Amino acid sequence: MVSGPYYGTIPPAHLIAQGPPSSLPRDLLLEEERRTYAALRGIRTLLNMKAPINMLPSELLIEIFLCVQRDYELTRWLVLPSVCRYWFYIASTTPELWRRLTVESSTNHLSTGLARSRAEVVDLELNLCAHAKGILSRTFKILKPHVHRIGSLQFRAHSLQRIMRLRDFLDSHSMPQLRSLYLHNMMVRDVHPSLSLSAERLPSLRSLRAYGMNILSSSIFSQLHTLRLADTFLEMAHRLVHFIGMARNLSNIEHLHVSQIPGETQSGESQADAILSSASMVHDKSELRKLRVLEICMEPRLVRLLLDNIVVPSTASVNIVVMTSPRTPNPSSPSQFLPSDNTCLPVLSDLRSVKVTVSRQGVTIYGQATIVEACQRWPSASVADPFFLYFQGEASKERYRDTSAEPATASLLNALLTFLGNTPGLHVLQIESNTASMKNMDWRATLLALPELRELTVRVRHQYSKRSKGGERGNQGSPFPDIESVIKQLDPEQIADLSHPRPVMPGVVPCPDLKCLRLFGQWTHEDTLVSTTKVCMENRRRALGRHQGLDELELHAHLRVDRDELLRYRREMLEELSSLVGNVYYDGHTELPCDVFV
């Protein structure tokens, strides 16, 4: 019987042709083909042969053990060595099978693994049972002679006493091989411990993940490549001081993930507010030159605090989630989380397309470095996106039908678009809204902040609880936004009107590079839309010195008119605008949807 059918199979010598096959005579080629098929059938027979499990090659057996380790719980593979004496011998004499060790309710696996791993670097997971007495002392006693070969350490603590024991252990031992450290405080709402990590004792540490633990500022941060930090931050003022020092000392960081854990209000809240105000006025920001991924999930004030102290390189992807809570002051105020300037995010200068989604749950902004046409499907959001921002809305499920927050949402959206628009290169803007916030939008401020915009697409789709009363075409009392509110702000003569509270200097053309304007969904307008649009396109054409005001204009509206009047209105628009716009498309719905309210 062949003891190793899977290994050491050498192709027959006659299968190795001397020179290209085409150089051989035809009869030799046919003979070669028959011999090749015969050899392949022989190899297939070898592969399908049965071999006793105690005669499997050691290399194959080790791979089986490693696969079980990866796909199941760490200790599940320990049942395999009991299959036979041969398997036990292979398992107990292969150091690489004992690189990953865990401790839960017993130290037996740890003791055995350290002995059998020999001089290998080991990865430890200490998920100690909350009710096991004395297990931490025994664990540290066993580890003491082997701390020099610990490559990674995961520690989950269920009590303050264990956290303090871990702190003493880290302070008293040097771990030159430790590259990854994971610390999880399971009692985060009750205990707020602080740890100090020394770069001298942990010279190789490159990855740090800390949940519910305050890592004191030290030189350890300058050597980290990956940092995942989750803390309450605002619970005590001294946490903010350490947080600011940490953020400004991450000179080699590549992946930075910072999230905030909700907690109870403490007496230090007012002092923390003072620190937030003073720390946000810094001028010498720390540039994180090697940063590749930035993920933030924090309340507005902390988002601004972090962005006011660092500069993110343009090559990094940015993912920001702004959370609000009942104790967040002015949660919808953009000044709460937008930095004083956008120099902290050079990635904004590389954005060419931005998609904004507005809902009662919040405002989401996706940014891409490529131009995404309106007809193209927007790429799915991922961590690799150049820019992602989500602002959590105030509306909960109980308040889902409350429209009181709509003006605040519109104000927030205006501020976000202004912040994004002050960077060059933004060519495509798509807005999708399922709320009534579009009616409260300040289109003047938005369009003036987007000087290089080429395509603007706004889709409005929102549902209501009552049927709208009245059959007027106009937008009086209607929840829908007005098309003319957008058209007028593209007219250079309209925005220079001195009667407006915020007139613009004469000669300024909003979005001079704008080629396409598309307004989809539930829009409405007055009977003056055709004349308003005609005047706007004529003024833009004259101010820009072009033959046409726009290359493409596509409008959709909800009107309470019959079909004949709708067709007449469409013909009128096409006739009046055909010489001023390259491609005009107008469509309207002759009745509002059945789920409309006032």
**Tokens, residue 224:** 């980290």
Does 63 reside within a domain?
no
Verify that 473 and 596 share a domain, yes or no. Answer: yes
Query: Above 90 in pLDDT, residue 16?
Result: no
Coil, helix or strand for 20? coil
Same domain membership, residue 149 and residue 46 = no
Residue 250 domain flag: no
566 vs 469, higher pLDDT: 566
Same domain, 487 and 567: yes
* pLDDT exceeds 60 at position 594: no
C-alpha span between 194 and 216 (Å, rounded)? 7
Angle at 362 between CA 414 and CA 523, to 5 degrees: 60
Q: pTM (2 decimals)?
A: 0.77
Cα gap 369→346, rounded to integer Å: 12
Residues 469 and 538 grouped into a single domain = yes
Contact 416, 391 (CB under 8 A): yes
Instruction: Please tell me the distance from the alpha carbon of residue 118 to that of residue 124, in angstroms, as a whole number.
Output: 15
Query: Where in 286-348 does DSSP place strands (E)?
Result: 286-287, 293-298, 310-311, 317-322
Q: What is the pLDDT of residue 595?
A: 41
Binned at pLDDT 50, 70 and 90, residue 334 comes out as: low
Q: Are 121 and 152 in contact (CB under 8 A)?
A: no
Q: What is the mean pLDDT of residues 376-395?
A: 63
Q: What is the percent of the chain where pLDDT is above 70?
A: 75
On whether residue 274 sits in a domain, the answer given is no
- Secondary structure (3-state) at 473: coil
Residue 585's alpha-carbon distances to 13, 192, 577, in angstroms, are 74, 61, 10
Distance, CA of 295 to CA of 388 (rounded, Å):
9
Q: Are residues 591 and 471 in the same domain?
A: yes
What pLDDT shows up at residue 596? 38
CB 312 within 8 A of CB 347: yes
Q: Is there a domain that residue 30 lies in?
A: yes
Q: Are residues 467 and 596 in the same domain?
A: yes
Q: What is the pLDDT of residue 3?
A: 42
Residues 147 and 21 in one domain: no
**Total number of domains constituting the chain:** 3
Which amino acid belongs to residue 394?
E
Strand partners, 520: 459
For residue 434, tell me if it sits in a domain: no
Each residue's pLDDT tens digit, 434-462: 877 788 888 888 888 888 899 999 988 76
- Asked if residue 590 has pLDDT above 70, the reply is no
CB-based contact 435:413 (threshold 8 Å): no
Is there a domain that residue 475 lies in?
A: yes
Helix (H) or strand (E) holding 55: none
Q: What pLDDT score was predicted for residue 53?
A: 78
Structure confidence by residue, pLDDT tens digits, 135-157: 888 999 999 999 999 999 999 98
Q: For residue 237, what are its two tokens?
A: 């003022």
The closest of 483, 472, 489 to 587, measured between CA atoms, is: 483
For residue 359, the SS3 value is strand
Q: Do 44 and 100 belong together in one domain?
A: no
Measured over all CA atoms, what is the biggest interatomic distance in the chain, rounded to whole angstroms? 100
Is 535 contained in some domain?
A: yes
Distant-in-sequence, close-in-space partners of 173: CB < 8 Å, separation ≥ 6? 144, 147, 201
DSSP type of residue 504: -
Find the domain containing 492 and state its range: 463-598
| In a domain? residue 127 | yes
- Structure tokens given for 441: 């939008």
Residue 109 has φ and ψ, to the nearest 5°, of -65, -40
Q: Which residues contact 154 (CB under 8 A, 6 or more apart)?
A: 124, 125, 126, 127, 182, 184
Identity of the residue numbered 150: I
* 105 shares its domain with 21: no
Both 119 and 11 in a single domain? no
The answer on 37 and 102 residing in a single domain is no
141/46 same-domain check = no
- The domain boundary, picked from 177, 197, 215, lies at 215
